[in-house]
Amino acid sequence: MRPDYAAILETIHAEVQPLIGQGELAGYIPELAKVPIERFGMAVYRLDGTVHSIGDAAARFSLQSVTKLFALALAFSREGDAIWSRVGREPSGNPFNSLVQLEYERGIPRNPFINAGALVITDILTSRFVQADLAVLQFMQMLSNEPGIDFDQAVARSERATAHRNSAMAHFMKGFGNLHNDVDRVIDNYCRQCSITMSCVELARAGSFLAQHGTVPWSGVKVLERSPAKRLNALMLTCGTYDAAGDFAYRVGLPAKSGVGGGILAVVPGEATVAVWSPGLDANGNSLVGTYALERFTDLTAQSIF
Ligand code: GLU
SS (HEC) of 194-223: HCCEECHHHHHHHCHHHHCCCECCCCCCEC
> What does residue 204 show for φ and ψ, rounded to 5 degrees?
-60, -40
Q: Is the pLDDT of residue 97 over 80?
A: no
Query: What CATH number has the domain bearing residue 189?
Result: 3.40.710.10
Task: Read off the pLDDT of residues 193-202 as tens digits, 9 standing for 90 and up.
Answer: 999 999 999 9
Name the DSSP class of 252. T
CA–CA separation, 202 and 67 (whole Å): 13
Q: 115 CB under 6 A from ligand 1?
A: yes
Which are the contacts of 90, defined by CB distance < 8 A and separation ≥ 6?
110, 111, 238, 239
Among residues 16, 260, 267, 274, which one is catalytic?
A: 260
Region of 305 on the Ramachandran plot (φ > 0 left; ψ -120 to 50 alpha; else beta): alpha
Q: Which atom from ligand 1 is nearest to the alpha carbon of 195?
A: 1
Residues 107 and 216 in one domain: no
Give the chain's mean pLDDT.
Answer: 96
Cβ atoms of 261 and 32 closer than 8 Å: yes
Q: What mean pLDDT is predicted for residues 10-33?
A: 96
pTM exceeds 0.85, yes or no: yes
CA–CA separation, 182 and 137 (whole Å): 21
Residues 240 and 282 in one domain: yes
Residues 47 and 91 in one domain: no
Total domains present in the chain:
2
Task: Read off the pLDDT of residues 110-160 as tens digits, 9 standing for 90 and up.
Answer: 999 999 999 999 999 999 999 999 999 999 999 999 999 999 999 999 999
Q: 260 CB under 6 A from ligand 1?
A: yes
Which of the listed residues 162, 194, 226 is the one where a domain comes to its end?
A: 194
Q: Which atom from ligand 1 is nearest to the alpha carbon of 65?
A: 8
Q: Cα of 238 to ligand 1 centre, how many Å?
A: 18
> Would you say residue 209 lies in a domain?
yes
Q: 194 CB under 6 A from ligand 1?
A: yes
